[in-house]
Amino acid sequence: MRISLHSQCFFSFIRILLIFCIFNCFTLHAYNQCLEDQRTVLLELKNDLIFDSTLSTKLVLWNQTRDCCSWEGVECDGTGHVINLQLNEEGILGGIHNLSTLSGLGYLEKLNLAYNDFGGVQIPEGILNLKHLTHLNLSYAPFGGQVPIEVSLMRRLVSLDLSSLVSYLKIENPNLKMLLQNLTGLRELYLDGVNISAQGSEWCQAISSSLPELRILSLKLCSLSGPLHYSLSKLHFLSVVQLDANDILSPVPNFFANFSYLTTLSLSGCGLNNSLSGSIPQSLFSLPSLKSLKLSDNQLSGRLYEFPTLQFSNIVVLDLRDNRLEGQIPESFFTLERLEYLDLSYNFFNGTVQLEKFQRLQNLGVLVLSNNNLSVDTSITNTSLSTFPQLSGLALASCKLHKFPDLINQHELKILDLSNNRITGEVPNWIWEIGNGKLFYLNLSLNLLVGLQKPYHIPSSLILLDVHSNQLHGELPPLPPHAEYMDYSHNNFEKSIPLNIGNPTTKLVYLSLANNSLSGAIPTSFCNATQLQVLDLSANKLSGTIPPCLVQNLKQLGVLKFGGNNISGNIPNTFCVNCSLEILDISHNYLEGSLPVSLANCKSLQVLNVRNNNIDDGFPCMLPSSLRILMLRSNRFHGQVRCSKSWTNLQIIDIASNNFTGYLYTKSFLGMMLEKDARLKSDYIQYNRGFVYGDDYYRATVKVTAKGVEMEFVKISTTFTVIDFSCNNFQGEIPDAIGDLSSLCVLNLSHNTFAGIIPKSLGNLKHLESLDLSTNQLRGEIPKELTRLTFLGALNLSNNQLIGPIPSGPQLQTFSTNSFQGNTGLCGFPLNISCRHTGENDNVPPPNSYRKDEAINWDYVSVALGYVIGLGSIFWLLFFCQSFKHKFNDQTEQVFEKVFNPKGKRRRHRGGVTRRC
Ligand SMILES: *[C@@H]1O[C@H](CO)[C@@H](O)[C@H](O)[C@H]1NC(C)=O
Ligand SMILES: *[C@@H]1O[C@H](CO)[C@@H](O)[C@H](O)[C@H]1NC(C)=O
Ligand SMILES: *[C@@H]1O[C@H](CO)[C@@H](O)[C@H](O)[C@H]1NC(C)=O
Ligand SMILES: *[C@@H]1O[C@H](CO)[C@@H](O)[C@H](O)[C@H]1NC(C)=O
Ligand SMILES: *[C@@H]1O[C@H](CO)[C@@H](O)[C@H](O)[C@H]1NC(C)=O
Ligand SMILES: *[C@@H]1O[C@H](CO)[C@@H](O)[C@H](O)[C@H]1NC(C)=O
Ligand SMILES: *[C@@H]1O[C@H](CO)[C@@H](O)[C@H](O)[C@H]1NC(C)=O
């Protein structure tokens, strides 16, 4: 009896403690001598558990000779029973299958196994038998499967934490209501990451009807759906509500404004949307207790109105990032005197705001106003004071700044983003001194800056420096020693790259010097920057050869680009065995020799662009099957294009303007057009191996020619497919099997010596937007099947030996005469030759003097037909219908529209086919 009395006292003690102290603030004290049986149980437990003794700080020290109540992580009550066991972060990896030994600790009230790795096993029976538990913490452990019904029998639970980043646990059957029904004393419920797929009314009612004592409710990323049911308003004692990353999809309910103990309301990424009257209840800002309000990444819209100014507002964190809020920033915000963190970026706030106004918020540590329609006036009248004594992060991107704000006295500033403004002149040299040598993030990109004021000293604290897209000139500034991400691209930097550039920079991950006027050689010291993942030296005036160590030493390198320089010599055959290159662009140089066979080591290579060089080689059959884009255009490649393997991911192949010969074998490229479901994973071809800074990916860009116009694609959709074999010496017939490349967007076979007829099967290429078969020796009539190509925007059949009427229908007549000229016997609109004698065609000699078996490898064709029957083109139509807009940046889109959409109306969605290229 004494014991249960004691534990009840302890219970109420915890309660009182919790009211005043939301977070865990107990320390462990040994009260008494350990009982023998308790010691035995603990030793058995230690024996059962498999743990990493280098990570363990408690278990590893448990020592027979000491009183077990004084062991690390163990606490006993007055009678020597273990009541508290804290084995969090002990590197436990297993040995927990049923943990029956734990049942021996019948008095246990608190159990913490957080931050171990149980590998997703069921919550073991041994734990479920502990009916006296008041605190159960199994967070980030992680356990998996259904949360067992036994949890509902732990009627004394005050705090339950089953959070996990990766969701292994689910609450389905028994459902949330069943589980919580009898846990009426629960005050803290953390189920972040547990899969509780449940409707708004269901989970809200389960919680509000069962847990009258609840103070902390944290259900982030639980697959919950909304709306937030009114029954939650019963829980007006709640102090913490965290429901981030669920599909709530409803307005923020008014009732939260009645929660007078609310300190944290966090609803980021919940799809919260627009009610008509402005979607954030103003009264929330006036809640006296509220400290943290996070509503980022939703669709909240409308204006924010002024709210009553409180004498003591406690708001410390206000995060409204990435919504659709508009109008002026309310003046009332400038009265939130305790504010430390304010993020209003990525909204539609407008008007002019004086930076000076924020001076009233003397505790402000982070201020983010970027990417609104704001004009920020940075003129400050009283400059003698340190304007923002606590400010450590300031982001004013796209705030229409014309000059640098005066930040000389910002001694705490570590992060500064002034990108995408209209700042002119030189970068003042005081900027490197702000933050007292602690500045680590500086983004000045997309301004009108012309130089760096001298003398300057780039601080060694700098980790990220982005000055891309300015007009900076002169010598390249040195890289700070701890640099990780450096972007000097799109400026006018000249002279040579410092020879020792790669030497002190052991942490450098990303370096772009592209689009400058740098000359001289590629320094071999780059080979010492072994962490480098992206190296972009494109579009400069670099000369000399490629240092062989570059592809040999840099094992992390994922993107290597130095297209558009004057590099000559051979490509070194030193690609290392664990080469991790994904994008290699060395186009537009003077490289010669062959493509190195060691490229086969680059098993993740997605893009290989060697166009416009002098490479003299056969077709590179050794390239890895990961390839998506292959550009060999304008070199001296020769021989047949025939490999025994196929590239199932290939989507753009441009081998134009070489000296390839022989027949066209489509087998290697068939897989490419058919097996495309794997591509749905990402929309663009991009490199995204974990950059810490910036939220953008490094995307592949490539130039593609269609209808004689070369376009740069800045984002390459994974559904954009091109075959360009033009300007070679291909011969024989165009194989029928080409019609099986059912997702093709651009086909160019012009300027070869293809003979025979135009295969009817081309009519199956339903997505084709550009077809060029000009300047060949094609004969016979234009198959009427081509009229099925509803998205065709560019057609060139000129300079062949085609005859007969141009098939009529909505399609072909929309093209100009240029598409058909230079043929011997074509007639009909749009040509100015009428087809007078309808019987004429009968007199035409048989179109084809080639023997079929000469032209086509029948084995390949039958394989191809097998594929087609298996999958069917409807499949592709359903899966790859994507809107055009998402694929190109604004400029290229315009070009593309002009080329592909000369007659807008033709673009109409017809016959169930949707445009996907
Ligand atoms: C649990 O562990 C005990 C002791 O190791 C063992 O005897 C028992 O069979 C186990 N029970 C289950 C269900 O695995
Ligand atoms: C659970 O334990 C972890 C690690 O000790 C701790 O960070 C977390 O706050 C605990 N949860 C609760 C609800 O106390
Ligand atoms: C909750 O308690 C009631 C009354 O003791 C009992 O009938 C019911 O089965 C319990 N529910 C659960 C899920 O344990
Ligand atoms: C807030 O509380 C008051 C007083 O208890 C009540 O009249 C009002 O309806 C509540 N508002 C909401 C939105 O629940
Ligand atoms: C700001 O936005 C509001 C509403 O969105 C609009 O009515 C107002 O004209 C805008 N003001 C300015 C200065 O653009
Ligand atoms: C690479 O670093 C090593 C060791 O610091 C140095 O000896 C060598 O000269 C460096 N290589 C180049 C090309 O700078
Ligand atoms: C192209 O190849 C053919 C046949 O192999 C050869 O006769 C011709 O000289 C080559 N042309 C060029 C420009 O290399």
**Alpha-carbon distance 330 to 347, whole Å?**
14
Report residue 348 as tokens: 């539609």
Q: Which of the listed residues 17, 117, 137, 187 should we mutate to test ligand 2's pocket, taking the one with most ligand atoms within 8 A of CB?
A: 137
The half-sphere exposure of 620 on its side-chain side, counting CA atoms within 13 A, is 26
Ligand nearest to the CA of 547: 6
Query: Where do runs of H (alpha helix) occur along 426-545?
Result: none
Nearest CA to ligand 4 atom 5: 258
**Alpha-carbon distance 613 to 593, whole Å?**
10
Residue % of the chain over a pLDDT of 90: 56
- Ligand 2 centre and the CA of 114: distance in Å? 7
Report residue 372 as tokens: 């609104």
Nearest CA to ligand 3 atom 2: 182
Nearest CA to ligand 3 atom 1: 182
Ligand nearest to the CA of 152: 3
User: Quick check: 138 pLDDT over 90?
Assistant: yes
Ligand nearest to the CA of 553: 6
> Integer distance in angstroms from the first to the last C-alpha of the chain?
77
Ligand nearest to the CA of 22: 2
Residue with tokens 């663009």: 684
- Is 127 in contact with 151 (CB distance < 8 Å)? no
- Is 702 in contact with 584 (CB distance < 8 Å)? no
Q: How confident is the model at residue 893 (pLDDT cuts 50, 70, 90)?
A: very low
pLDDT confidence of residue 628: 87
Nearest CA to ligand 2 atom 9: 24
Span 189-199, average pLDDT: 93
Q: Which of the listed residues 17, 18, 24, 140 should we mutate to test ligand 2's pocket, taking the one with most ligand atoms within 8 A of CB?
A: 24
User: Quick check: 864 pLDDT over 50?
Assistant: no
- Ligand 1 centre and the CA of 123: distance in Å? 14
Nearest CA to ligand 4 atom 9: 255
Contacts for 252 with CB less than 8 Å, ≥ 6 apart: 267, 272, 279, 280, 281, 284, 295, 300
Helix (H) / strand (E) element for 731: namely strand 729-733
Helix (H, G, I), strand (E, B) or coil at 715: coil
The mean-pLDDT minimum among 383-387, 834-838, 880-884 falls in: 880-884
Greater confidence (376 vs 695) lies with: 376
The mean-pLDDT minimum among 126-135, 567-576, 612-621, 787-796 falls in: 787-796
Q: Which residues line ligand 7 (CB under 6 A)?
A: 638, 659, 661
Helix (H) / strand (E) element for 176: namely helix 176-180
Beta strands in 29-165 (DSSP E): 50-51, 74-76, 82-86, 92-94, 110-112, 135-137, 145-146, 159-161
Nearest CA to ligand 2 atom 14: 24
In eight-state DSSP terms, residue 340 is -
Ligand nearest to the CA of 188: 2
- Ligand 2 centre and the CA of 137: distance in Å? 6
- Ligand 7 centre and the CA of 752: distance in Å? 13
Ligand nearest to the CA of 640: 7
pLDDT confidence of residue 388: 85
Q: How confident is the model at residue 310 (pLDDT cuts 50, 70, 90)?
A: low
pLDDT confidence of residue 914: 53
- Ligand 2 centre and the CA of 68: distance in Å? 24
pLDDT tens digit sequence for 90-109: 999 888 777 788 889 999 99
| pTM confidence score | 0.79
pLDDT confidence of residue 116: 92
pLDDT confidence of residue 456: 93
Q: Which of the listed residues 592, 617, 638 should we mutate to test ligand 7's pocket, taking the one with most ligand atoms within 8 A of CB?
A: 638
User: Quick check: 313 pLDDT over 90?
Assistant: no
**What is the DSSP secondary-structure string of 524-547?**
GGGGG-TT--EEE--SSEEEE---
pLDDT confidence of residue 194: 95
User: Quick check: 179 pLDDT over 90?
Assistant: yes
pLDDT confidence of residue 105: 93
**Alpha-carbon distance 756 to 855, whole Å?**
9
Which value, in Å, is the radius of gyration of the alpha carbons in the chain?
34
Nearest CA to ligand 5 atom 12: 351
Q: Give the residue from 441, 451, 355 showing the smallest Cα distance to 399.
A: 355
**Alpha-carbon distance 608 to 622, whole Å?**
13
Nearest CA to ligand 2 atom 2: 114
pLDDT confidence of residue 705: 65
- Ligand 4 centre and the CA of 268: distance in Å? 25
Ligand nearest to the CA of 113: 2
Strand 702-706 versus strand 709-713 pairing type: antiparallel
User: Quick check: 625 pLDDT over 80?
Assistant: yes
User: Quick check: 30 pLDDT over 60?
Assistant: no
Q: Give the residue from 14, 8, 6, 9 showing the smallest Cα distance to 187.
A: 14
**Alpha-carbon distance 506 to 485, whole Å?**
12
Greater confidence (688 vs 665) lies with: 665
Residue with tokens 């017809």: 910
Q: Which of the listed residues 84, 112, 194 should we mutate to test ligand 2's pocket, taking the one with most ligand atoms within 8 A of CB?
A: 112
Helix (H) / strand (E) element for 671: namely helix 667-674
In eight-state DSSP terms, residue 171 is -
**What is the DSSP secondary-structure string of 610-651?**
--SSEE-----TTS-TT--EEE--SS--EEE---SS--TT--
**Alpha-carbon distance 506 to 249, whole Å?**
46
pLDDT confidence of residue 700: 60
Contacts for 159 with CB less than 8 Å, ≥ 6 apart: 134, 135, 136, 137, 186, 187, 188
The mean-pLDDT minimum among 332-336, 497-501, 709-713 falls in: 709-713
Closest ligand 2 atom to Cα of 159: 13
Distance (Å) of CA 301 to CA 352, 363, 571: 20, 28, 55
**Alpha-carbon distance 104 to 48, whole Å?**
14
Helix (H) / strand (E) element for 706: namely strand 702-706
Closest ligand 1 atom to Cα of 126: 1
The mean-pLDDT minimum among 34-38, 290-294, 827-831 falls in: 827-831
Span 766-794, average pLDDT: 91
Closest ligand 7 atom to Cα of 659: 1
Q: Which residues line ligand 1 (CB under 6 A)?
A: 97-98, 100
**Alpha-carbon distance 754 to 728, whole Å?**
10
Mean pLDDT of the chain: 82
Q: How confident is the model at residue 167 (pLDDT cuts 50, 70, 90)?
A: low
Specify burial of residue 379 (Cβ count, 10 A radius: 0-12, 13-18, 19+). exposed
**Alpha-carbon distance 241 to 217, whole Å?**
5
Q: How confident is the model at residue 282 (pLDDT cuts 50, 70, 90)?
A: confident
pLDDT tens digit sequence for 443-476: 999 999 999 999 999 999 998 899 999 999 999 9
Q: Give the residue from 840, 808, 810 showing the smallest Cα distance to 825.
A: 840
Does the beta carbon of 350 lie inside 6 Å of ligand 5? yes
Q: How confident is the model at residue 706 (pLDDT cuts 50, 70, 90)?
A: low
Q: Give the residue from 139, 132, 91 showing the smallest Cα distance to 114.
A: 139
Q: Which residues line ligand 6 (CB under 6 A)?
A: 500, 503, 524-525, 528
Q: How confident is the model at residue 18 (pLDDT cuts 50, 70, 90)?
A: very low
Ligand nearest to the CA of 527: 6
Closest ligand 7 atom to Cα of 636: 14
Q: Which of 96-100, 216-220, 500-504, 845-849 has the highest mean pLDDT?
A: 216-220
Ligand nearest to the CA of 121: 1
Span 123-140, average pLDDT: 94
Nearest CA to ligand 6 atom 14: 525
Angle at 574 between CA 568 and CA 578, to 5 degrees: 135
Does the beta carbon of 351 lie inside 6 Å of ligand 5? yes
Nearest CA to ligand 4 atom 7: 258
Span 685-689, average pLDDT: 64
Span 720-746, average pLDDT: 89
Nearest CA to ligand 1 atom 6: 100
Q: Which residues line ligand 2 (CB under 6 A)?
A: 24, 88, 112, 114-115, 137, 139, 159, 161, 188, 190
- Is 234 in contact with 210 (CB distance < 8 Å)? no
Q: Which domains, from first to last, does the chain contain?
A: 251-400 (3.80.10.10), 643-680+719-840 (3.80.10.10), 870-902 (no CATH)
pLDDT confidence of residue 740: 82
pLDDT confidence of residue 667: 66
pLDDT confidence of residue 265: 95
Contacts for 859 with CB less than 8 Å, ≥ 6 apart: none
User: Quick check: 857 pLDDT over 50?
Assistant: no
- Ligand 3 centre and the CA of 223: distance in Å? 27
Nearest CA to ligand 5 atom 8: 327
Span 831-842, average pLDDT: 63
Q: Which of the listed residues 303, 326, 375 should we mutate to test ligand 5's pocket, taking the one with most ligand atoms within 8 A of CB?
A: 326
Contacts for 13 with CB less than 8 Å, ≥ 6 apart: none
Contacts for 296 with CB less than 8 Å, ≥ 6 apart: 268, 269, 319, 320, 321, 322, 323, 343
pLDDT confidence of residue 618: 96
User: Quick check: 507 pLDDT over 70?
Assistant: yes
pLDDT confidence of residue 51: 92
pLDDT confidence of residue 491: 98
Span 369-393, average pLDDT: 83
Closest ligand 6 atom to Cα of 528: 1
- Ligand 3 centre and the CA of 518: distance in Å? 76
pLDDT confidence of residue 839: 45
In eight-state DSSP terms, residue 492 is E
Nearest CA to ligand 7 atom 7: 659
- Ligand 5 centre and the CA of 350: distance in Å? 6
User: Quick check: 514 pLDDT over 80?
Assistant: yes
- Ligand 3 centre and the CA of 136: distance in Å? 20
